[in-house]
């Protein structure tokens, strides 16, 4: 019984991590590229924009990144977050 409980807990924890939003202020290019709708070029553009201009205040700030329009941001909104970034993301 203890094994089953441990297994179920592990599975639920894994689901929670898989469904967690990606923080565009701290994510690497690879982490951003893993989000459906963001390819390697857009991931690179997000990181470059963040490095040059500092952290994003909201997901809507992606409109300032080449390749992102309102429609694409609306589709990605549930998968992205800005968290509580108070300083620029580190490489």
Domain segments of the chain as ranges: 21-91
- Given a contact cutoff of 8 angstroms between Cβ atoms, the answer to whether 59 and 85 are in contact is no
Confidence of residue 1 (pLDDT cuts 50, 70, 90): confident
**Region 55-62 average pLDDT:** 96
| 3-class SS of residue 23 | strand
Confidence of residue 86 (pLDDT cuts 50, 70, 90): very low
Choose among 81, 90, 83: nearest CA to 21: 81
Would you say domain 21-91 falls under CATH 2.40.50.140?
no
CA dihedral 34, 39, 40, 46 (to 10 degrees): -90
pLDDT digits (tens, 9 = 90+) for 2-24: 676 555 555 554 444 446 899 99
What's the pTM value of the predicted model, to 2 decimals?
0.71
- Given a contact cutoff of 8 angstroms between Cβ atoms, the answer to whether 23 and 76 are in contact is no
Confidence of residue 84 (pLDDT cuts 50, 70, 90): low
């Amino acid at each position: 019984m203890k094994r089953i409980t441990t297994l179920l807990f592990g599975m639920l924890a894994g689901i929670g991590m898989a469904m967690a939003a990606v923080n565009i202020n701290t994510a690497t290019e690879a982490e951003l590229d893993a989000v459906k709708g963001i390819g390697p070029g857009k991931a690179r553009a997000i990181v470059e924009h963040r490095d040059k201009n500092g952290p994003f205040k909201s997901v809507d700030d992606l409109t300032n990144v080449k390749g992102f329009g309102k429609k694409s941001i609306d589709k990605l909104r549930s998968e992205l977050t800005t968290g509580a970034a108070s300083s620029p993301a580190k490489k």
